[in-house]
Chains A and B, each alone.
Chain A
Amino acid sequence: MSATWLLARRGLARNRVRLLVSVGGVALALSLTLALDAIYAGVANQLTTYIDRSGADVWVSQPGVRNLHMVASWLPDSVIGQVRAVDGVAEAAPILYSTDTITAGDESTVAYVIGTRADAPMGGPSEVVDGSGRVGPGEVIIDRGFARKAGVTLGDVVTVLGGEAVIVGLSEGTASLVNSVAFVSFDDFREMRAGAPVVSFVLVRTAEGASPDGVAAGIERLVAGVTAQSRATFAAGERRLVTDMSAEIISIMDVIGFVVGLAVVALTVYIATLARRREYGVLKALGARNRVLYRIVLAQAVLSVALGFIAGLAFTGLLAFLVARTDLNLELAITAASLVKVGLLAAVIAGLAAILPIRQVAELDPAIVFRRGVVT
């Protein structure tokens, strides 16, 4: 270990309370940002779970519709056949979609309601943990979390799309912090919507070896009045919606985390430097160049922030672990992008926090060593 790191590490470890305050403060500050990022990333993941697991490689929608959340998409039935005729399309299945409120007793939840045919090759629930995965007339599959919360189970009745339906299946991976997904029969859905010969989306499974983006482009070229996107693009549009909606909140929390972290580290490194002023003077008197002392101060700031970052990450990880074991429909997803962002934030904090102490050391008179004082 170099002299710089040795002095920095020992200097920090010498006062454990101060180190704990410093690391704890940074951890808390960075946790704010990490946790919020993780929450939004988790929500985005949950929101796209249905899209990701739908089995479709390409989503065909009303022109201009590029995501599910808070949109309506209506296409004439005739589109289904036109899509099937496009080169590279192996299968095409329609779904009906609407955002609605499902009510069970006193409990209700906002849900994406999907109308799907019982024999549809895609678009149904991907993971049914209890009951049937196929919905017939007058039946519904709802999210298990909501069922548990509402106190209903298989055979009970819920209100959906203005009518009543019997629960025949309970699914998982179909709930998020803001909504859940419920499945009703295609015919019921159409009937509840006055029997109009329309579909919301046409889901496409591509032929083996065909590129989803290429097939989507072919559909848009050959079928008039549709927007076609690969699943990845469609899901990205859904995620972007969450990101756009949360960008300001995340930015505010980033700033708060940055300011708190900076204040804590700057203060503790400054105090640590002040407390060891004489020792820095000794090093200067013994021949240490200023740049060596700067490196020690900077290393202390970097060490404090790095430890804080690790502690913050551990704390957020623990939070994610614990939250996943509660009834909350919440997932904390710590993403690489978030780690990079918070890591950069931490690096800036360390750099800025070292400025004042470095100035303090720069101005230090080495002759301080001859002034009488108590040092070891």
Chain B
Amino acid sequence: MTTLTLEVREATKRFGEGDAAVTAVRGVSLAVESGEVVLIMGPSGSGKTTLLSMMGALLKPTKGSIHLDGIDISALSEGRLPEIRLRKFGFVFQDFNLLSALSVLENVAIVAELAGLNGRAARNKATALLTDLGLGERLDFLPEKLSGGEKQRVAIARALINDPALILADEPTANLDSRIGHEIMRLLRRIAREQGRSVVIVSHDQRIRDIADRVLWLEDGAFRDSRSVGRQSMFRNPGDRENEMHETATTVVDPVCGMTVEPETAIVVVHAGAPYYFCEIACAETFSDGPERWLVRQDPDPLEHSH
């Protein structure tokens, strides 16, 4: 994997002509650095997916440009884009988009084969990756036999198989329940942290905002606000959370895994007279085993603790 910077410069995307023209993205600029997790949020129809499509070289901006390591990929011919999509980007979709006729292993290996690996090498690489993601027992399963979380992990393995520097994820938790959604987000964050890959996530799921290094709010095709949520927010005392969680005053942060949870539905542990809220029992138990660890330490990666 190479380090990479993706830069969107004043990108505009307009669909249709004349009176029927719709501008989905208006003059958006954005730079994504290596190892950074950027979350783009916004209401439906705000242009999130269009922006993600442009960043992934699936759509060309009507105006402006997209630069990958200094190369204007929006100016490249269609013939050169498949190679960039294949090697530079990894895509994760809301609907998983696994090939239904292929097994888990084949779904991942085939992308490596497209990149030029021979069949055996591709299968070996895919096997290692899937095993690493906890799917070693599911290699020969068809996608229809998998749970939503397993499908999304297969999709993530497929996104990683060619060692891309940038993962583009479109609503990766939308079809998953809360717990599985958290798992997937932790996985994406781990990939960014441990492997130095950039991850751009498009979502309207408020629960995952604390995973990101940066949260961008897209509305009517333009960024309205940009906040660096920062990992420091994940491990603050509960008392600080209400100030920290600006827009979502009704949510708090699980001090163990860093997930945003709603106090009304979260698991509560009282320590030193203060309530702490957790996404699931495993986090609560981990916290109870040594609360000081989670209150004092500022930079342990919560993923070292597995649910």
Could you tell me which A residues sit within 8 Å of B by CB distance? Answer: 1-3, 6-7, 10-11, 13-14, 278-279, 282-289, 292, 366-367, 369-370, 372-376
Residues of A within 8 A of B95 (CB): 372-376
A287 near B111: Cβ-Cβ < 8 Å = yes
A279–B115 alpha-carbon span in the complex (Å): 18
A376 near B96: Cβ-Cβ < 8 Å = yes
Query: From residue B59, how far is it (CB to closest CB) to chain A in Å?
Result: 5
A283–B87 alpha-carbon span in the complex (Å): 13
A14–B58 alpha-carbon span in the complex (Å): 28
- Cβ contact of A375, chosen from B91, B97, B111, cutoff 8 A: B97
B56 near A10: Cβ-Cβ < 8 Å = no
Most buried by A among B87, B91, B94, B144: B91
Classify the secondary structure of A's interface with B: helix
Which stretch, B78-86, B218-226, B238-246, B249-257, touches the partner chain A? B78-86
B53 near A288: Cβ-Cβ < 8 Å = no
A113–B82 alpha-carbon span in the complex (Å): 76
Query: From residue B105, how far is it (CB to closest CB) to chain A in Å?
Result: 11
Interface size on B, residues (CB 8 A): 37
Given contacts A282-B97, A282-B99, A369-B97, contact A6 B106 (CB under 8 A): yes
A286–B115 alpha-carbon span in the complex (Å): 10
A7 near B91: Cβ-Cβ < 8 Å = no
Query: From residue B116, how far is it (CB to closest CB) to chain A in Å?
Result: 11
Give A287's nearest chain B residue, CB to CB: B86
Residues of A within 8 A of B101 (CB): 7, 10-11, 13-14
Given contacts A282-B99, A286-B91, A376-B144, contact A2 B113 (CB under 8 A): yes
Query: From residue A94, how far is it (CB to closest CB) to chain B in Å?
Result: 72
Give B146's nearest chain A residue, CB to CB: A376
Given contacts A285-B56, A366-B58, A376-B144, contact A7 B87 (CB under 8 A): no
14 intermolecular pairs with C-beta atoms under 8 Å apart: A2-B113, A2-B119, A6-B110, A7-B102, A10-B102, A282-B93, A284-B82, A285-B58, A287-B83, A287-B84, A288-B86, A288-B114, A370-B49, A376-B143
Residues of B within 8 A of A282 (CB): 93, 97, 99
A278 near B82: Cβ-Cβ < 8 Å = no
Residues of B within 8 A of A292 (CB): 114
> B residues 52-104 with Cβ under 8 Å of A?
52-53, 56, 58-59, 82-87, 89, 91, 93-102
A10–B89 alpha-carbon span in the complex (Å): 26
A3 near B58: Cβ-Cβ < 8 Å = no
- Cβ contact of B53, chosen from A370, A374, A375, cutoff 8 A: A370
Residues of A within 8 A of B99 (CB): 7, 279, 282-283
